[in-house]
């Protein structure tokens, strides 16, 4: 059993790495698309702030994912393994096509699908899933509203300044907003893998109750930081260039708005999608200029990917549980 536990923990950290890899676009898309940093420097910058988030936040999101979605007393290690493989499959599939979906929702869907495949629908804690599903809608709306308001206020503040001086000032300020967003990404997303690893320890009897040890915190933040460092350019291109054309002032407002949403939800233990949050913020910023500045066709494709992530990753988790139960 020890060897299996170790394998599942390693797979969880692989998922965490892929989470950082897949979602690195969220924190660097705007500073790359506005030319503030090169892609190589941007991912190193984001990775550092993803990692230091380990020292700032508790375990509220980890508890929601680890013990608030599926009845932990009924879960075994094979359910967790299948859920992780389903989430990893969906992440790689969507990364290949450059689709900015939520790694968080892939994990939530894969875990739930694997649990249902073995134990039926009664194993699901519906209040936990209702919260996650509610914030599929609310997270991008909050990002949109904050992005819209921040852009309006900031544009009014600099209305009498020369465009060149505004660009120069916000190129520097974007370093702050990108750091803030990367910090928010680490505070929310790394906790999800922390919750899964602790679920493994509790389900196999290595830990009596749900509590996140320091080594789990550090390893998860290190994995997501490394994943960010190797992040995918395909999704950066979609996020930073295809949705709307951003200037440094818009990039600053989008990042700051997205980070605010992430940190607020992390405090209340709500596992939201960093992808959806920053996308909503970018749309809010772009719509201040004019509604036609937003490529709504691209946004619509992203929306469909959001809606389908939990059910399709759930099917993947259920499929991989069937494979594991028959061949292991």
Helix (H, G, I), strand (E, B) or coil at 80: helix
- Asked whether 75 and 317 are in contact (CB, 8 A), the reply is no
| Residues of the chain below pLDDT 50 | 238-243
Which residues, in sequence order, are bridge partners of residue 124? 70
Query: Per residue in 270-302, pLDDT tens?
Result: 878 777 787 788 888 877 766 555 555 655 666
Eight-state DSSP code of residue 231? -
For residue 45, what pLDDT is reported?
82
Task: Give this prediction's pTM.
Answer: 0.80
pLDDT in the model for residue 241: 47
Residues 6+ apart with CB under 8 A from 215: none
* Angle value at C-alpha 51, between 259 and 67, nearest 5 degrees: 75
Q: Is 267:60 a contact under the CB 8 Å cutoff? A: yes
CB contact at 8 A, 173 and 259: no
Distance (Å, rounded) from C-alpha 105 to C-alpha 129?
A: 10
Q: Which pLDDT value is given to residue 282?
A: 81
Q: Which two structure tokens, joined as six digits, stand for 161?
A: 């300044």
Q: What are the CB-based long-range contacts (under 8 Å, 24+) for 209-217?
A: 210/63, 210/66, 210/67, 210/72, 211/59, 212/59, 212/62, 217/54, 217/190
Residue with tokens 């399709």: 312
Helix (H) or strand (E) holding 134: helix 126-157
Could you please report the per-residue DSSP string of 201-266? HHHTTSSSS----HHHHHHHHHHHHHHHHT--HHHHHIIIIIS----HHHHHHHHHHHHHHHHHHH
* 242 Ramachandran zone, left/alpha/beta (phi>0; psi -120 to 50): alpha
The token pair that represents 63 in the structure block: 């508890």
Q: How far, in Å, CA of 81 to CA of 140, rounded?
A: 30
In the structure encoding, which two tokens stand for residue 108, read together? 């939530």
Give me the pLDDT at residue 10, please: 95
Q: How many CB atoms lie within 10 A of CB 280?
A: 27
The pLDDT score that the predictor gives to residue 291 is 59
What is the pLDDT at residue 299? 59
pLDDT recorded at residue 216: 92
What per-residue confidence (pLDDT) applies to 75? 86
């Amino acid at each position: 059993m020890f060897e299996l536990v170790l394998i599942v923990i390693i797979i969880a950290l692989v998922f965490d790495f892929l989470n950082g890899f897949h979602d690195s676009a969220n924190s660097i898309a705007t500073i790359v698309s506005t030319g503030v940093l090169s892609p190589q420097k941007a991912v190193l910058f984001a990775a550092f702030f993803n990692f230091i988030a380990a020292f700032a936040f508790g375990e509220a999101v980890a508890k929601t994912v680890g013990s608030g979605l599926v009845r932990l007393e009924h879960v075994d290690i094979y359910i967790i393994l299948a859920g992780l493989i389903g989430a990893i499959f969906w992440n790689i599939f969507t990364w290949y096509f450059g689709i900015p979906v939520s790694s968080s929702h892939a994990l939530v869907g894969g875990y739930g699908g694997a649990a249902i495949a073995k134990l039926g629908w009664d194993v699901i804690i519906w209040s936990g899933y209702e919260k996650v599903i509610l914030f599929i809608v609310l997270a991008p709306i909050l990002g949109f509203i904050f992005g819209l308001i921040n852009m309006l206020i900031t544009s009014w503040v600099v209305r009498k300044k020369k465009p060149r001086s505004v660009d120069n000032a916000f190129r520097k300020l974007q370093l702050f907003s990108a750091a803030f967003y990367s910090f928010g990404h680490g505070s929310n997303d790394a906790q999800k893998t922390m919750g899964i690893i602790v679920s493994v320890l509790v389900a196999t009897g290595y830990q009596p109750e749900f509590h996140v040890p320091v080594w789990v915190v550090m390893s998860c933040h290190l994995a997501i930081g490394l994943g960010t460092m190797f992040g995918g350019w395909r999704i950066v291109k979609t996020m930073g260039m295809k949705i709307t054309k951003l200037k440094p002032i818009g990039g600053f407002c989008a990042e700051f708005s997205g980070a605010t949403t992430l940190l607020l939800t992390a405090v209340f233990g709500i596992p939201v999608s960093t992808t959806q949050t920053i996308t909503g913020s970018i749309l809010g910023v772009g719509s201040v200029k004019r509604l036609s500045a937003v490529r709504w066709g691209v946004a619509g494709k992203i929306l469909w990917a959001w809606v389908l992530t939990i059910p399709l990753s759930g099917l993947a988790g259920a499929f991989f549980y069937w494979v594991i139960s028959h061949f292991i």
